[in-house]
Amino acid sequence: MKRNELCWCQSGKKWKKCHYPQENPNFRASLADEYWKKYKIRIKTEDQIKGIKAACLLNAQILDAVCLMAKEGVTTKELNDYANKLYKDAGAIPAPLNYGHPPYPASICTSLNEVVCHGIPGPRVLQNGDIMNVDVSTILNGYYGDCSKMVTIGTVSPDKQLVVDTAYECLMKAIDVVKPGALLSEIGEAIESHAHNKDCSVVYQFVAHGVGVEFHENPQIPHCRNRLRLPIVEGMTFTIEPMINAGVAEAVIDPTDQWTATTKDKKPSAQWEHTLLVTSDGYEILTPWTK
């Protein structure tokens, strides 16, 4: 929003005289208080940020290592086993294991082709032409990191390559929106407009989220167009993780395992994810995986 516009908080004051981001530490403390009381959004302290950064860095390293192992002939269970070893060696805990209801039964998610997210590792052998999202989430010293990226196996079809590339571009365009004073709705706007330019659709049933002290914190951040006029403030840590489909936007959850989400029309889907810290003038990517 602009400095002279009326503040989003409905005080009737100009933004620059109200919630405009300021250097003053008292302002920071009172804003953190307000975000907690009104929205249950945690503005992180310096100590929390240190812990979250370490968890995120380790998480990105595990993701990169697991993805290097993703080759034709390897099973997704083998990737999960390898991730378990890496978590253990680092003194960390896999956040997905036993998470939610019913408890998620593995340590990472491996979502192939038409699987939108929350694919459960198993006996499936990676084949030439597959695309796969690998999603890793780590708990280190009580702090959380969350990120994911796509791998392609051998030669993939043009429609699969299109969702893989478009989902990456959507993530990066959305990240570029992030700075104090920008509205959370600008994230979904950036994603949906780019996806539509590429004739792709945006999954609306799963959202990005605050992360760091817990796995899934407020705010929930939609990747599709929305009216969430909530200003981003310094010290927030959250993910952006757009799921982009080649066909229809709708995802269907497997009624048996109650986790695996698949595109309704079985066309391919792709997702990339970072955890971000909001800084005084923009953002820091806390999960620097290599593309």
Residue number of the CB atom closest to ligand MF3: 96
Region binding ligand MF3 by CB under 6 A among candidate stretches 99-107, 159-167, 168-176, 260-268:
99-107
Residue number of the CB atom closest to Co ion: 146
Q: Three-state SS for 28? A: helix
Which of 59, 237, 239, 260 is close enough to bind Co ion by CB under 5 A?
Answer: 239
**To the nearest whole angstrom, how small is the minimum distance from the Cβ of residue 241 to Co ion?**
5
Per CB under 6 A, does 64 bind ligand MF3? Answer: no
Cα 78 to Cα 68: distance, rounded to the nearest angstrom: 12
- Closer residue to ligand MF3, CB minimum distance, 139 or 164: 139
User: How many residues interact with Co ion (rule CB under 5 A)?
Assistant: 2
Per CB under 5 A, does 169 bind Co ion? Answer: no
The string of DSSP codes covering 127-179 is -TT-EEEEEEEEEETTEEEEEEEEEE-SS--HHHHHHHHHHHHHHHHHHHH-S
Interaction with ligand MF3 in 244-273: which residues (CB under 6 A)?
273
Rounded to whole angstroms, what are the CA distances from 247 to 160, 242, 244, 268?
11, 15, 9, 7
Per CB under 6 A, does 234 bind ligand MF3? Answer: no
Q: Three-state SS for 115? A: strand
Per CB under 5 A, does 287 bind Co ion? Answer: no
The site string for ligand MF3 over 194-233 (x = CB under 6 A, - otherwise) reads: ---------------x------------------------
Region binding Co ion by CB under 5 A among candidate stretches 16-24, 38-46, 231-239, 282-290:
231-239
Per CB under 6 A, does 42 bind ligand MF3? Answer: no
User: How many residues interact with ligand MF3 (rule CB under 6 A)?
Assistant: 13
Q: Using alpha carbons only, how large is the chain's radius of gyration in Å?
A: 19
Per CB under 5 A, does 146 bind Co ion? Answer: yes
**To the nearest whole angstrom, how small is the minimum distance from the Cβ of residue 287 to ligand MF3?**
11
For the record, the structure tokens of 277 come out as 């810290």
Residue 73 contact among Co ion, ligand MF3, none, beta carbon within 5 to 8 Å by kind:
none
HSE, CB side, 13 Å, CA atoms: give it for residue 281.
Answer: 0
Per CB under 5 A, does 217 bind Co ion? Answer: no
Cα 85 to Cα 13: distance, rounded to the nearest angstrom: 55
For the record, the structure tokens of 94 come out as 């896999």
Rounded to whole angstroms, what are the CA distances from 217 to 44, 137, 189, 253?
12, 14, 22, 22
The site string for ligand MF3 over 128-147 (x = CB under 6 A, - otherwise) reads: -------x-x--------x-
Cα 235 to Cα 61: distance, rounded to the nearest angstrom: 23
Cα 126 to Cα 74: distance, rounded to the nearest angstrom: 6
Cα 188 to Cα 174: distance, rounded to the nearest angstrom: 7
Per CB under 5 A, does 275 bind Co ion? Answer: no
Per CB under 6 A, does 242 bind ligand MF3? Answer: no
Chain residues in the site for ligand MF3 (CB under 6 A) = 96, 99-100, 104, 109, 118, 135, 137, 146, 148, 209, 241, 273
